[in-house]
A and B are shown apart, each in its own frame.
Chain A
Amino acid sequence: MKLVIIDYGAGNIQSIKFAIQRLGFEAVLSHDAEEIRQADKVIFPGVGEASSAMAKLRDTGLDKLIPTLKQPVLGICLGMQLMCSSSEEGNTTGLGIFDLDVVKFPNTVKVPQIGWNQITELQSDLFKGVPEKSYIYLVHSFYAPKGEDTIAESDYALPYSAALQKDNFYGVQFHPEKSSEVGSTILENFLKVI
């Protein structure tokens, strides 16, 4: 299986690479359109600020490429947020795959949310073998509200999308690569089951 991690200069890719290695797979880092298009599966990572990450995607034309991909694509953290219609962070448009507007948590809670929270209402093979209320690790100030593409929820100030899916596109707000055994099961599901 050919696995590509989209490399567009945003965030900590090393941890994802290691997590995939621990599962016995190898991933290639690439920003080359042809190489990404030919991959069996694609991981779209992202840590940092939304509008500058979108600018990097536009500079390389990846903003046009990603929504046209046909193979399973997994967006992680900011990657998932960028797959939505827009983000309040830096007031940027997104890739428009999920019809949701990403907004900031209210200041009734500490922002960013940092730490381990639970996922519920699990509705996809991505969560095969993962019990309801499992703990996953998150670090984020902005969130995608619940919508028709929501396949897992979490609760911080309010229930929000912890994971999304539409056709071949998957997104997780949490970091599976940092979420202990639960996270590695979810990554393994993406690699083997989906």
Chain B
Amino acid sequence: MLTKRIIPCLDIKDGRTVKGVNFVDLRDAGDPVELAAIYAQEGADELVFLDISATEEKRKTLAELVYHVAETINIPFTVGGGISSVEDVDILLKNGADKVSINSSAVKRPELINELVAKFGSQCIVVAIDAKQIDGQWIVHLVGGKVPTEMDLFEWAKEVEQRGAGEILFTSMDHDGTKNGFANEALAKLSDLVNIPIIASGGAGTIPHFTDSFKDGKADAALAASVFHFKEIEIKDLKNELKEEGIPVRI
């Protein structure tokens, strides 16, 4: 049976993890490769690296990082952040990334999805969507959720699927950072609307939040950052509890 995936997300700047992490057994708390290896060992199903550097020079650092991650870990990983062209994706995949995620660049030029799918295949193209509710309507936002667009989350998700994306990473900006649980209602609606996997993001605070994202939110995978980095939730405990709740997980 296909299992539900647990995905720690690492924010990267200039080749280093950004947020402080609370791993006592880490020799170098800022080294993404070492952190990735620990997560792989602890049972993470997949990893996401979100690069928040901006300049060209730093992009090279990202490609080098991808190379070292691929060299070290034996689970799949996705790289996102500032990717806007076929060339960007080509470099990351050649260095060993399994998937890339695009966000603002797809909103600005939706044809980019088709171009990437034609060249690399659906299986490695994830479209990340940040959205928040404005007057009851889920509106797509850009620049890490700061800038609203005029697009409706569900319409955009449908279009993303039709253009060939392999997966959608949906972050609710209303839930992100709150630790009050995922946006399960919107997640379930998304999951019913499109026939590609949905990764839930934003709001994880406790183990039951993950359970709810799968049961109520019908998510195929759940992503979180700080609860894992600060060891508030251990992946092993999380998976054991999910299993007890009858949710298929890889243990």
Contact = CB atoms under 8 A, between A and B. Distances in A.
B134 interface: no
Contact of B75 (A22, A114, A139, A178): A178
A156 B3 CA distance: 11
Main secondary structure of the interface of B (DSSP, over half): loop
Given A48-B120, A48-B121, A180-B40, A14 B45 contact: no
Interface residues of A, number: 36
A137 B2 contact: no
Contacts of A153: none
A38 interface: no
Contact of B196 (A112, A155, A178, A183): A112
A47 B124 contact: yes
A12 B124 CA distance: 10
B133 interface: no
Interface string A115-132: 111100000000000000
Nearest to B43: A180
Contacts of B95: 14
Contacts of B196: 110-112
Contacts of B121: 11, 47-49
Given A15-B96, A111-B195, A141 B122 contact: yes
29 contacts: A11-B121, A12-B93, A14-B67, A14-B96, A15-B98, A21-B71, A47-B123, A49-B121, A107-B195, A110-B195, A110-B197, A110-B220, A111-B195, A112-B166, A112-B167, A112-B197, A115-B2, A115-B5, A115-B221, A116-B45, A117-B2, A117-B3, A135-B250, A139-B76, A139-B166, A140-B123, A175-B76, A179-B75, A183-B74
Contacts of B97: 12
Interface string A68-102: 00000000000000000000000000000000000
A21 to B, nearest CB: 7
Contact of B167 (A19, A114, A118): A114
B91 to A, nearest CB: 11
A189 interface: no
B70 interface: yes
Contacts of B122: 112, 141
A115 B249 CA distance: 10
A150 B245 CA distance: 34
B37 to A, nearest CB: 12
Contacts of A113: 2
Most chain A beta-carbon contacts within 10 A, residue among B4, B40, B122: B122
A14 B123 CA distance: 17
Nearest to A178: B76
B96 A155 contact: no
Top 10 A-B pairs, shortest CB-CB distance? A48-B121, A14-B96, A139-B123, A135-B250, A116-B250, A178-B76, A117-B2, A116-B3, A18-B71, A114-B197
Contacts of A156: 2
B123 A114 contact: yes
Interface residues of B, number: 34
Main secondary structure of the interface of A (DSSP, over half): mixed
Interface string B68-101: 0011001110000000000000000111111000
Contact of A179 (B74, B118, B221): B74
Interface in B1-25: 1-5
A135 B123 contact: no
Contacts of A117: 1-3
Interface string A1-36: 000000000011011001101100000000000000
A156 B95 CA distance: 30
A181 interface: yes
